[in-house]
């Protein structure tokens, strides 16, 4: 029994070349006539599809050979799925394609529809992880192309389906708004995945979002192409599973075809594309395929499939059936096919050798380059002109209003300014429209900017973030809102694995700029319990390339929002804007009526530089530095006054940015005062940034004389009522810790 | 012994010069090329024009005669076709491309037309090109000594094009051919004259860029829209067939023997490439990356494509070649 199947699969094809009986006189005809009666596929186009399929198949075989020789690093292939070339051929090169990893033939066929593409060498550069790989720059084996509108996908967990919906809806919305859009108005979005992947929650979110769009009478021209090979790695998909699950699903128009009958698949694909483009409704296209040569090169199929079964599957090879059809109908001669096969194999082998010799990524800095954040002084930002601002604000501009205002009020004004300055900005989420958000942060925006720019979404965070990604890729500047921090965890991979990684996996060729507003943290006076008081942001802090802003005060919030929007608009960055719910309506700092937590509105153009901390109340002879942010800042500043009354001078450093974290500023003030107290309102074990800061201080020789102390929340979920205060740090805790620290000898 | 795998590049106008006199006769063998040449000579003689054989056999090169569009085009065509018969024995040709006029040669060279029909195409296009008035300029974006790109030159060309184009319709200028590190620009008389003044000057040991290409029209620009219209009409039944060797066109697109579409090839030949930029750079790029040849074979006559092909090799770093010296030492780009 053989473990490796490559020779078997290739051998069957080569045997066909030797043994085929030749054209059947009853089935031959002109090259530009239908290959079988009644179909749209001509013999000539069929040969072109076969060329794409063969290219894909031979690339798979070469990738495995390269792997054996230590020249390639990826062997998940497309063998058995080559019929997806029909979509590659039939769709326009401006119809965005979000492809799963078995779409080699789609890419090959689409490349032939464009000009000057070099798909073979591009694929080989990708297999070899060469730095010249024209999509990821050697960072990952992805199917992608800037010129062919194939944004690279991780696609292993169908996490690209929500953004496919976002693209489809985004194109329609930008055109409706008369805004520049990267794609024509009648584009359709193609999104492929496997049968097993259709079970992923993200896939289901995508189907649901598309169907919901139909119910909400919104155009959603997306083709979900499910390539059903009947098995997910080693787990069998039940017979007719996909059909049973999707054929009668409301608002998804179902089409089906079998890879072993390419002419029929071609006709069905043509009908599906036409239907989708014409009706702007989502389509579910069920393409039956087989999987050849295992899940990947490392997958030993014989552990879970018998030799007989493998032989049976391999005999069903769609490429074999297609080649047989072409030979029988005279579309290609046996000699012609043999020459095509050997010519293609030679081109791919040579390309593989050359690609292997090309330089790889050599330094960590090169790896990280697409994640680099813009330098703080390079962002320009944008303000609407005065006339436009008067139009949206009324005659009294917010900066001219002398009354100090609280955070939620200033945020609403800041958002209004952003929406006025950036016509492409769209604000959406749960309850953000007429209701103006749970905390009124988006109050008035729907009325000012209308339902096309400020709108409610369905109640699903994965959908919200998928919409944002898709819309951003075609030219919108999405400002989605996640209603509570706990809810983002439900959809976190849409940030971690998808939005934040796009620039990395495309070497900056694609971007999905956005500012995700998240209302979060605890301290809601015992109301709401954990899911409205989630105080762990650890899952965001380690995401490469992400910008995380977390203001505590209204003036900072407006300035930081401007910076985030500029970083998104000008550098394509994904920004998280974490807003402390408990401070939204806070007016006073120390006592009722002091209004010290209210602020003036920053002048237009005033922004908070990326990564810049703010220090409150520093003097030359401070005893210690308290480092905090958000609710912690509020408590620290309350503590600062009480400590001063005891004769302890503390300066308070507001981090403001959690990424990039202002580590140097923290060190500088720590060194200046010799003592630093890290006040972290999040869970002690990596819930917030204090462990990172503590490590940074402790491991920096220039801070060796600094005494470092830290207080943080308990490692627990936040309970209801007064019990919440038992596990969250309080102002008293800050005072106690600071007092204790101040009594410690400086080193 | 297996022959080296080559991609063939057929040259365009300006490739048949003094040194090429007699080359057709020297290389001609009995067969389809000789037959087509005889037919061409007969046709020309009957029109009272000098035959190709006479022009090739001339004792001296007379620019006014040899560079005339209708003479030069056919001379070059037959010079390539006569040379090719020998070359095909030395190399396995994996794909064929051409530069400008060389595209017409590439078609029969790849078997997409007969040699005789290729001549008819070349002759017809040379005649129709006279419908367009204007000229062509050759300039460069690389340092002639090293063949490395010079961004100042690239910017200078962009600026000159923008400035001249801004002077109005009678100053129409456009990119005509992307020619490796060289650029062929074309336009109306006024446009070309203005460009010559504004383009950055570059001296090499052999010549100074930019310079006017004698006898050339505003090929591959919208100024040839009438040419395209007439050609599409007149050559509507041009017998194009599936190529026997893969063709790479002036967009870098491939037309294979198995799926190449004669209708597309005909339309591309008589319309698209006539009035849009000919991207020879893209065809070399495709040749290198997608066919990975052992030899980049620049067909006779002349050696005009050596440098443009070489520029693309260096830009791509093909087979590790990144300097002019390394390239010359490699023997990758050949003319025989």
By a Cβ cutoff of 8 Å, what residues of chain A touch chain B?
Answer: 31-32, 44-45, 47-48, 50-51, 112, 115-122, 332, 336-337, 339-340, 343, 346-347, 350-351, 353-354, 357-358
Residue B130, SS3 per DSSP: helix
**Chain B residues with beta carbon closer than 8 angstroms to that of A358:** 317
Tell me if B289 and A350 make a contact (CB, 8 A cut-off): no
**Chain A residues with beta carbon closer than 8 angstroms to that of B94:** 343, 347
Tell me if A358 and B317 make a contact (CB, 8 A cut-off): yes
DSSP collapsed to 3 states, A227-260:
EECCEECCEECCCCHHHHHHCCCCCCEEEEEECC
B253 → closest Cβ in A115, A353, A354: A115
**Chain B residues with beta carbon closer than 8 angstroms to that of A332:** 258
Kindly state the helix (H) or strand (E) to which residue B136 belongs, with its residue range. Answer: strand B135-140
What is the rounded distance in angstroms from the CA atom of residue A164 to the CA atom of residue A206? 8
Q: How far is B213 from chain A (nearest CA, A)?
A: 27
Give the C-alpha distances (Å, rounded to integers) separating A144 from A71, A97, A108. Answer: 21, 9, 11
**Chain A residues with beta carbon closer than 8 angstroms to that of B258:** 47, 50-51, 332, 336-337, 339-340
Confidence of residue A1 (pLDDT cuts 50, 70, 90): very low
Residue B2 contacts A where some CB pair is shorter than 8 Å = no
Residue B168 contacts A where some CB pair is shorter than 8 Å = no
B289 → closest Cβ in A115, A121, A332: A121
Which two tokens mark B254? 């491939």
Which two tokens mark A299? 């997958």
A44 → closest Cβ in B5, B259, B317: B259
**Chain B residues with beta carbon closer than 8 angstroms to that of A323:** none
Q: Could you tell me if the ipTM is greater than 0.85?
A: yes
Residue B317 contacts A where some CB pair is shorter than 8 Å = yes
Give the max Cα distance, chain A. 104
Q: Which of B243, B251, B258 to mutate to probe the A interface, most A CBs <10 Å?
A: B258
Tell me if A354 and B292 make a contact (CB, 8 A cut-off): yes
pLDDT given at position A155: 64
Residue B60 contacts A where some CB pair is shorter than 8 Å = no
Q: How far is A102 from chain B (nearest CA, A)?
A: 21
Closest residue in A to B293 (Cα) is: A350
Q: Which of A551, A613, A610 is nearest to A584 (CA)?
A: A551
Question: For the whole model, what pTM was predicted?
Answer: 0.96
B282 → closest Cβ in A116, A337, A340: A116
Beta-carbon pairs below 8 A across chains A and B: 67
**Chain A residues with beta carbon closer than 8 angstroms to that of B241:** none
Other Cβ atoms closer than 10 A to B211: 12
Output phi, psi for A88, to 5 deg: -60, -35
B292 → closest Cβ in A44, A122, A351: A351
A340 → closest Cβ in B258, B279, B285: B258
Output phi, psi for A60, to 5 deg: -60, -45
B256 → closest Cβ in A51, A118, A353: A51
Closest residue in B to A340 (Cα) is: B258
User: To the nearest whole percent, how much of chain B has pLDDT over 90?
Assistant: 96
Convert the pLDDT of each residue in A151-207 to its tens digit: 999 767 899 999 999 999 999 999 999 999 999 999 999 999 999 999 999 999 999
DSSP of A12-59, one letter per residue? Answer: HHHHHHHH-----GGG---TTSBSSTT-S-BHHHHHHHHHHHHHHHHH
User: Looking at chain B from residue 198 to 257, which residues have their Cβ under 8 Å from any Cβ of chain A?
Assistant: 242, 246, 251-254, 256-257
Convert the pLDDT of each residue in A61-102 to its tens digit: 999 999 999 999 888 899 999 999 999 999 999 999 999 999
A465 Rama class: left (phi>0) / alpha (psi -120 to 50) / beta? alpha
Which two tokens mark A29? 């005809």
Convert the pLDDT of each residue in A492-529 to its tens digit: 999 999 999 999 999 999 999 999 999 999 999 888 88
A350 → closest Cβ in B257, B286, B292: B292
pLDDT given at position B163: 97
Closest residue in B to A332 (Cα) is: B258
Query: Which contacts of A19-28 are long-range, i.e. CB under 8 A and separated by 24 or more positions?
Result: A20/A324, A20/A327, A20/A328, A20/A334, A21/A328, A22/A327, A22/A333, A22/A334, A23/A327, A23/A328, A23/A329, A23/A330, A23/A333, A24/A328, A24/A329, A27/A328, A27/A329, A27/A330, A28/A329, A28/A330
pLDDT given at position A681: 98
Confidence of residue A301 (pLDDT cuts 50, 70, 90): confident
Convert the pLDDT of each residue in B305-333 to its tens digit: 999 999 999 999 999 999 999 999 999 99
pLDDT given at position A652: 98
Is A2's pLDDT higher than 60? no
**Chain B residues with beta carbon closer than 8 angstroms to that of A51:** 256, 258-259
Q: Which of A35, A121, A331 to mutate to probe the B interface, most B CBs <10 Å?
A: A121
Q: Give the rounded distance of the alpha carbon of A293 from its chain centre.
A: 30
pLDDT given at position A741: 98
Tell me if A351 and B94 make a contact (CB, 8 A cut-off): no
A118 → closest Cβ in B242, B289, B319: B289
Is A3's pLDDT higher than 90? no
B291 → closest Cβ in A45, A112, A347: A347
Is A570's pLDDT higher than 60? yes
Tell me if B286 and A116 make a contact (CB, 8 A cut-off): yes
Q: With 0-12 CB in 10 A as exposed, 13-18 as middle and 19+ as buried, what is A701?
A: exposed
Contact A593, A618 (CB under 8 A): no
Residue B289 contacts A where some CB pair is shorter than 8 Å = yes
User: Looking at chain B from residue 83 to 122, which residues have their Cβ under 8 Å from any Cβ of chain A?
Assistant: 94
Tell me if A339 and B257 make a contact (CB, 8 A cut-off): yes
pLDDT given at position A156: 72
Is B215's pLDDT higher than 90? no
What is the rounded distance in angstroms from the CA atom of residue A740 to the CA atom of residue A728? 19
The rounded mean pLDDT for chain A is: 96
Closest residue in A to B92 (Cα) is: A343
Tell me if A343 and B94 make a contact (CB, 8 A cut-off): yes
Convert the pLDDT of each residue in B237-246 to its tens digit: 999 999 999 9
What is the rounded distance in angstroms from the CA atom of residue A470 to the CA atom of residue A480? 12
A116 → closest Cβ in B252, B291, B320: B252
Closest residue in B to A333 (Cα) is: B258
Bridging pattern class, strands B135-140 and B182-187: antiparallel
Residue B147 contacts A where some CB pair is shorter than 8 Å = no
Contact A607, A556 (CB under 8 A): no
**Chain A residues with beta carbon closer than 8 angstroms to that of B289:** 118, 120-122, 351
pLDDT given at position B1: 64
Residue B259 contacts A where some CB pair is shorter than 8 Å = yes
Average pLDDT of the segment spanning A299-317: 90
Q: How far is A631 from chain B (nearest CA, A)?
A: 53
Q: How far is B158 from chain A (nearest CA, A)?
A: 22
**Chain A residues with beta carbon closer than 8 angstroms to that of B291:** 347, 350
Q: How far is A47 from chain B (nearest CA, A)?
A: 6
Tell me if A336 and B251 make a contact (CB, 8 A cut-off): no
């Amino acid at each position: 029994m053989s473990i490796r199947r490559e020779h078997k699969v290739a051998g069957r094809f080569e045997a066909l070349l030797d043994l085929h009986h030749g054209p059947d006189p009853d089935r031959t005809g002109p090259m530009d006539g239908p290959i079988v009666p009644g179909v749209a596929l001509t013999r000539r186009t069929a040969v072109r599809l076969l060329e794409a399929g063969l290219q894909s198949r031979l690339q798979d075989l070469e990738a495995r050979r390269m792997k054996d020789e230590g020249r390639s690093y990826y062997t998940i292939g497309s063998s058995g799925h080559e019929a997806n070339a029909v979509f590659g051929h039939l769709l326009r090169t401006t119809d965005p394609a979000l492809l799963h990893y078995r779409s080699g033939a789609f890419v090959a066929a689409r490349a032939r529809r464009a000009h000057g593409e070099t798909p073979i060498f591009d694929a080989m550069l990708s297999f070899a992880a060469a730095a010249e790989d024209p999509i990821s720059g050697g960072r990952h084996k992805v199917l992608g192309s800037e010129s062919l509108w194939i944004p690279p996908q991780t696609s292993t967990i169908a996490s690209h389906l929500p953004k496919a919906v976002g693209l489809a809806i985004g194109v329609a919305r930008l055109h409706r708004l008369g805004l520049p859009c990267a794609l024509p108005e009648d584009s359709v979005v193609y999104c492929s995945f496997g049968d097993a992947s259709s079970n992923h929650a993200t896939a289901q979110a995508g189907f649901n979002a598309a169907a919901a769009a139909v119910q909400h009478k919104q155009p959603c021209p997306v083709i979900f192409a499910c390539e059903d090979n009947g098995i997910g790695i080693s787990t069998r998909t039940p017979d007719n599973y996909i059909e049973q699950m999707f054929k009668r699903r409301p608002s998804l128009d179902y089409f089906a075809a079998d890879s072993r009958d390419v002419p029929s698949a071609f006709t069905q694909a043509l009908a599906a594309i036409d239907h989708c483009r014409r009706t702007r409704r989502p389509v579910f296209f069920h393409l039956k395929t087989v999987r050849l040569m295992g899940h990947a090169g490392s997958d030993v199929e014989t552990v879970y499939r018998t030799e007989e079964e493998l032989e049976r599957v391999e005999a069903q090879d769609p490429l074999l059936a297609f080649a047989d059809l072409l030979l029988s109908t005279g579309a290609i001669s046996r000699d012609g096919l043999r020459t095509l096969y050997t010519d293609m194999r030679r081109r791919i082998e040579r390309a593989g050798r050359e690609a292997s010799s090309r330089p790889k990524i050599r330094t960590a800095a090169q790896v990280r380059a697409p994640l680099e954040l813009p330098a703080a002084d390079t962002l320009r930002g944008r303000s609407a002109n005065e006339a436009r601002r008067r139009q949206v604000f009324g005659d009294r501009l917010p900066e001219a209003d002398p009354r100090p205002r609280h955070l939620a009020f200033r945020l609403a004004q800041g958002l209004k300014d952003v929406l006025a300055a950036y016509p492409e900005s769209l604000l959406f989420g749960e309850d953000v429209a007429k209701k103006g958000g749970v905390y009124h942060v988006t109050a008035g925006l729907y009325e000012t900017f209308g339902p096309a720019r400020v709108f409610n979404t369905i109640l699903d965070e994965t959908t919200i973030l998928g919409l944002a990604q898709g819309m951003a890729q075609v030219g919108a500047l999405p400002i989605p809102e996640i209603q509570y921090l706990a809810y983002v965890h439900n959809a976190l991979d849409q940030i971690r694995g998808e939005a934040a990684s796009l620039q990395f996996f495309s070497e900056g060729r694609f971007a999905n700029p956005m500012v995700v507003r998240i209302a979060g943290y605890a301290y809601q006076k015992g109301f709401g319990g954990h899911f409205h008081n989630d105080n762990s942001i650890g899952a965001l802090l380690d995401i490469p390339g992400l910008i995380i802003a977390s203001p505590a005060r209204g003036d900072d919030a407006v300035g930081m929002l401007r910076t985030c929007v500029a970083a998104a608009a000008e550098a394509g960055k994904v920004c998280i804007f974490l807003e402390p719910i408990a401070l939204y309506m806070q007016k006073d700092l120390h006592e009722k009526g002091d209004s010290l937590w209210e602020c003036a509105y920053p002048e237009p153009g005033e922004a908070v530089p990326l990564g810049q901390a703010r220090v409150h109340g520093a003097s030359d002879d401070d005893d210690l530095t308290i480092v905090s942010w958000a609710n912690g800042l509020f408590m620290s500043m309350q503590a600062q006054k009480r400590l001063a009354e005891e004769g302890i001078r503390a300066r308070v450093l507001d981090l403001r940015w959690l990424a990039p974290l202002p580590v140097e500023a923290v060190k500088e003030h720590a060194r200046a005062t010799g003592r630093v107290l890290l006040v972290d309102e999040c869970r002690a074990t990596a819930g917030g940034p204090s462990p990172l800061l503590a490590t940074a201080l402790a491991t920096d020789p220039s801070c060796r004389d600094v005494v470092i102390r830290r207080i943080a929340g308990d490692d627990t979920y936040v309970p209801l009522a007064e019990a919440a205060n038992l596990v969250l740090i309080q102002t008293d805790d800050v005072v106690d810790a600071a007092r204790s620290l101040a009594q410690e000898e400086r080193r | 012994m297996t022959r080296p795998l080559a991609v063939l590049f057929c040259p365009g106008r300006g490739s048949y010069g003094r040194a090429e006199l007699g080359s057709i006769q020297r290389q001609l063998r009995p067969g389809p090329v000789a037959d087509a040449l005889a037919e061409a000579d007969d046709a020309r003689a009957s029109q009272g024009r000098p035959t190709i054989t006479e022009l090739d056999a001339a004792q001296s090169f007379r620019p006014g005669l040899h560079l005339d569009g209708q003479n030069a085009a056919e001379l070059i065509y037959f010079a390539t076709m006569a040379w090719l018969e020998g070359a095909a024995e030395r190399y396995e040709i994996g794909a064929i491309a051409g530069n400008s006029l060389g595209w017409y040669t590439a078609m029969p060279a790849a078997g997409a037309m007969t040699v005789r029909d290729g001549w008819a195409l070349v002759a017809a296009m040379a005649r129709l090109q006279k419908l367009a008035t204007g000229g062509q300029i050759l300039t460069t974006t690389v340092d002639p000594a090293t063949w490395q790109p010079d961004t100042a030159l690239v910017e200078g060309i962009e600026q000159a094009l923008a400035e001249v184009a801004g002077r109005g319709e009678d100053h129409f200028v456009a990119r005509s051919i992307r020619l490796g590190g060289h650029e062929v620009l074309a336009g109306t008389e006024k446009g070309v004259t203005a460009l010559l003044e504004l383009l950055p000057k570059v001296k090499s040991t052999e010549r100074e860029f930019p310079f006017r290409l004698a006898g050339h029209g505003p090929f591959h620009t919208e100024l040839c829209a009438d040419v395209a219209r007439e050609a599409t009409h007149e050559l509507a039944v041009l017998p194009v067939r599936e190529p026997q060797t893969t063709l790479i066109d002036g967009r870098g697109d491939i037309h294979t023997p198995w799926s190449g579409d004669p209708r597309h090839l005909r339309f591309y030949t008589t319309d698209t490439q006539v009035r849009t930029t000919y991207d020879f750079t893209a065809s070399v790029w495709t040749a290198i990356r997608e066919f990975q040849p052992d030899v980049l074979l620049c067909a006779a006559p002349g050696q005009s494509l050596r440098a443009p092909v070489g520029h693309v090799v260096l830009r791509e770093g093909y087979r590790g070649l990144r300097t002019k010296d390394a390239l010359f030492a490699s023997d990758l780009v050949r003319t025989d």
